[in-house]
Amino acid sequence: MSDYTSVDGAIPFECLRVDLVPGRTVIVHIDLQNDFLHDEGHYGKSGIDIRHMQRVINPINALTAEARQRGVPIVWTRHGTKGVVDGGPFMQHRPFLKDGGLRQNTWGYKIYEPLGALPDDWYVEKTRLSAFFSTNLDVILRGLKAKTVIFTGVLTNQCVAATSKDASFRDYMPIVVEECTGTTLPNLHDPAVEMMRVGWAAVSTLEDVMAQIEELPLTNSPVGD
């Protein structure tokens, strides 16, 4: 990896090492829907290289399984609009979405089935890059008394970066699991991860965050306050 943070003077940040808070940890899986991950989804069928996004599938399955063991609540976000009218500049930036893709109430909008989302998990419908913007995500996290929030998903340099950043604005401690994030522009993956690491999130390996989850008490449901 290039050294993105080499500087001449003093280092203008300190990397965070965040310990998961028992009873106050939540996982947010970002936009793991057919349109991004499935070969027949809108991105795949548009000829976009989705392999770097698909790499997240196995690590996320491992993470989700461990989290379910410990009662860590799981939130799934999905990106989509009714159409171009509520899509904003995002749609103008991505002309291949003009006539379809990332549309509410379509097959492509569903969570990719092998990831095992359950009806009783939490769901967030988003229309912009950040899953906090004009959604119920903050309502859910406050209701769950979340303090440490684990983020995975796609795209590293867009929705994952935007959502983890917005989490830090609201005083949640965001933890991004590197292997569980992917993008359509793999050359931007490493610098995006670096921006999070130096700017607004703890960046963790899957191994490390799994080890931390394993040490949580078995019942990790929200505590009193």
Residues 174-213 contacting a second copy, CB under 8 A:
174, 184-188, 191-192, 194-195, 198-200
6 belongs to the binding site for a second copy (CB under 8 A): yes
Single out the residue of 26, 173, 176, 206 in contact with a second copy (rule: CB under 8 A): 173
CA distance 30 to 207: 20
**What distance lies between CA 121 and its chain's CA centroid?**
15
168 belongs to the binding site for a second copy (CB under 8 A): yes
SS3 (DSSP) at 182 = strand
- Report in angstroms how near the CB of residue 184 gets to a second copy at its nearest: 4
Count of beta carbons in the 10 Å neighbourhood of residue 115:
16
7 belongs to the binding site for a second copy (CB under 8 A): yes
Write the interaction track for a second copy spanning residues 41-80; mark x where CB under 8 A is met and - where it is not.
--x--xxxxx------------------------------
CA distance 74 to 72: 6
107 belongs to the binding site for a second copy (CB under 8 A): no
* Residues binding a second copy: number (CB under 8 A): 76
Question: Which structure tokens are listed for 157?
Answer: 């340099």
CA distance 39 to 47: 10
